[in-house]
Amino acid sequence: MQWMYSVRWSLRHMPCPGERELIRMIVPAGAPIPDEVLVKHEFCSGYAVCIDFLSDREIKRWSPERKAAARRRNMERRINKRAPLFAEELIAQELAARPDYFSGK
């Protein structure tokens, strides 16, 4: 695992006056902020020192069947919570309205 320190523009409500990212350095996990990064940072300038945790593990994606089961289960839970009396009818309407979504696509 590695960490990435950077100095980035952090004021979302204001346009960036220059580059969005001034410096980026990747270091071993647990290493302190490199001096090169701290030199680029100025207080009250709109830029912030940021840290990102980089992982070597691959992102696991759900299969379409698993996505479909989770989406259907969540939809059924929401409907049964809000309108248990009409749940079967509302679930059938949702499945008919968005068949691709509830099939995992």
72 domain-assigned: yes
79 domain-assigned: yes
Residue type, 97: A
Shared domain check, 46 and 7:
yes
Q: Give the integer Cα–Cα distance in Å for 14 and 11.
A: 6
Shared domain check, 94 and 69:
yes
Shared domain check, 70 and 96:
yes
pTM more than 0.85: no
Full domain range(s) for residue 91: 64-103
How many separate domains does the chain show? Answer: 2
Token pair listed for 83: 């309108």
What is the chain's pLDDT, residue by residue, as a tens digit (105 residues)? 899 999 999 999 999 998 999 999 999 988 999 999 999 998 988 999 999 998 878 888 999 999 999 999 999 999 999 999 999 999 999 999 999 999 888
